[in-house]
Structure 1
Amino acid sequence: MSDIDKIDRKILAVLQADGRIANVELAEKVGLSPTSIGERLKRLQRDGYIEGYGARLNPQMLGLGLLVFVEVLLDKTTPDVFERFARAVRLAPEVLECHMVAGGFDYLVKARVADMSAYRRFLGESLLALPGVRESRTYAVMEEVKRDAPLPVG
């Protein structure tokens, strides 16, 4: 992985705000030629700074209005239990993010479903059925105060 300079950081900041920006416009914003921008973008992608591009979708418009965070405690904390849980949770489409954490529980799961009854089904049929799950605690989001924030690259 290579080091990134101030211009690379500006490119990353602009792309986080508008991933569909044309290379010519991006070049103007950072003060480089379109050719230089193209080369830098290829390097930033190759080196893993840019993982991909996508659209931010409105969850309510898609019938996924309930966001929940779930603390998951496993029955054992052994490498094979961790691996089985991780493999299974990757297959759950409701799960947006899952993080192994240090503290009073093992994983923090971020999931999105239609409503509380859909969450109840997801909890009983999917989450609690995952390998090694001993217990869970759910936190339903009442209001999303800040969402999809850009990374501080500046």
Structure 2
Amino acid sequence: MDDTDRRILRHWLAEPALPRAELAERAGVTVATLWRRIERLRETGVILAETTVIDWRALGYELEVSLRFTLDKTDPRAFDEFIGAAREVPEVIGIETFLGRVDVRLNVIARDMGHWTEVYRERILPLPHIAEVDALMLISTIKDEGGLPL
């Protein structure tokens, strides 16, 4: 990866919807060169995917709660079974595992407090192998960037 690749990525991260011709111009390369470099970045695993980001608030979800779980690890399948069951909960928008006191974090969305209560009681608490759970309700997001200092 060279300075040209970094320039392409920097401009692309800053404006993901930028037409390829304009991205090529800003990065100082031809469109053909841009396509070749993007393809090489994909092949080498630098670019993993292009995604669509949906604003779940625009769809009527007003709450986001981060749940931190400590699992009962006496069963060697605890992680796999917990994560498998959590994947089936439609309101779970993120699953992360950790090394330390917290084993797993789920990010969960809900339309309102009534919906949150329903999701928590009927879909979250029945998940297998929970030893301890801690909830943090999101108040505001100060910084949310996927960019790197390229």
Aligned to 1:107: 104
Kept in 2: contact 1:69–1:138 (CA 8 A): yes
Kept in 2: contact 1:19–1:54 (CA 8 A): no
Aligned to 1:150: 146
1:28 has 2:25 as partner: yes
State the superposition RMSD in angstroms.
1.8
Aligned to 1:13: 10
Kept in 1: contact 2:95–2:105 (CA 8 A): yes
TM score, norm. by length of structure 1: 0.86
Shift of 1:63: 0.7
SS in structure 2 at match of 1:60 = helix
TM-aligned CA distance change 1:38 to 1:137, over 3 Å: same
Length, aligned pairs only = 150
Mapped to 2, the partners of 1:6 and 1:151 lie a distance apart of: 16
Q: In the alignment, residue 73 of structure 2 is paired with which amino acid?
A: K
Kept in 1: contact 2:66–2:107 (CA 8 A): yes
Unaligned runs of 5+ in 1: none
Q: In the alignment, residue 112 of structure 2 is paired with which amino acid?
A: D
Kept in 1: contact 2:14–2:147 (CA 8 A): no
Mapped to 2, the partners of 1:108 and 1:48 lie a distance apart of: 26
Once superposed, which parts of structure 1, at least 4 consecutive aligned residues long, lie more than 6 Å away? none
Shift of 1:103: 2.3
Percent identity of the aligned residues?
28
Mapped to 2, the partners of 1:128 and 1:141 lie a distance apart of: 20
TM score, norm. by length of structure 2: 0.88
